[in-house]
Amino acid sequence: MGHYCKLPKGLKLPSDVEDLKEILLNVEPRLQPIPLIRRHVSRFVDGADMDEVYPKLWLGDCDAATNVAYLQRHGITHVLNAADNKTGPAPVKTGPDFYKEAKIKYLGLDLIDLPFANVARHFVATAEFLDDALSTGGTVLIHCRQGRSRSASIVIGFLMIKKNFTAGEALKRLREYREVRPNNSFLQQIADYDLQLFRERLAYYRSLPSSSSSSSSESDSESICEEVEKESLDSDSFKTVFSEPILTDTADSREQSILDDSDEYESCHERKIREQTLSESETIYIPKRPSTNDNYEFASCKELSAEFSINLVIDYDYDSDDESSDSNDF
């Protein structure tokens, strides 16, 4: 029998899209009192429907975004509008001039809350905007129309890229403080991005000088981990590995990103990854993503095995009833 590879410190296995759906089902939000709001007045009436989901990161709706007086009282210095779409439903038309007098910095995204929208292509730019705001002592409101889907997906992307959260950890964090619910397509894109970051970060760790040895001894494994511990996840060299978005905004990608919980997707719930008989090779257990057709493949075991010299095997164990059961619909 082979052995489990000891993952380098700071590297965590990615979340499957089914894990994200389970979080939406099982994690109940705990809404916190909002500072500066009048007692016994609804947050919606007072135009302050926003929740602090991460230190100095507030997630809210269009009413909070357009209540400039409240934003000023609350110390908001930056606004990220994830609903600045030029066409399509549910836009929030504010813009930089709307906040000019309040001296609030603004970033708007042309993004609609529909299955074919490509939210992942905004992750890198928005992560930089949010990171710059926080690093200069700013406080940010990220919003869309309701503060549930588009803006939540953007915050999840930031936490994955800049704070080393997995998709599951990020969604759980947001869900605990606000009733977020990204649409199914956004959930799939988030899961894909999580897997992409894992692959890129694993390649980064493999490129460290201490990993050049082909020996599989415990001493070499420990030296790799010690080397990784010295590397900061926020270092410039580390950040360069995810400078490109995963998906492209083409007709094919729009069609392939649509998730409708139909029978074309295998149930991931019973998907298990098992260990084969290995000699002296490393074994890492990594989930495989479903794909909509042969032309849109996510990371496979063969790709990862060839790229990182890791033996990976996926074994699909399904009960006979699973194939006929209905998928959860969000």
pTM of the predicted model as reported, rounded to 2 decimal places? 0.65
Contacts of 37 (CB under 8 A, 6+ apart): 43, 46, 48
Binning pLDDT at 50, 70 and 90, where does residue 210 land? low
Residue count of the chain, please give it. Answer: 330
- Helices and strands counted in the chain (H then E): 11, 9
Question: How many Cβ atoms from other residues are within 10 Å of residue 298's Cβ?
Answer: 16
Contact 130, 170 (CB under 8 A): no
Which residue type occupies 257? S
Residues 272-297: tens digit of each pLDDT:
333 333 333 343 444 434 333 333 33
**DSSP 8-state symbol, 211:** G
Q: From CA 271, how far away is CA 256, in angstroms rounded?
A: 21
Domains and CATH numbers, the chain: 13-264 (3.90.190.10)
Residues 48-89: tens digit of each pLDDT:
789 999 999 999 999 999 999 989 988 999 999 999 998 888
Binning pLDDT at 50, 70 and 90, where does residue 35 land? low
Q: In 3D, which of 131, 110, 120, 210 has the Cα closest to residue 157?
A: 120
Contacts of 240 (CB under 8 A, 6+ apart): none
Catalytic residue of the set 144, 225, 268, 301: 144
Does the active-site annotation cover 144? Answer: yes
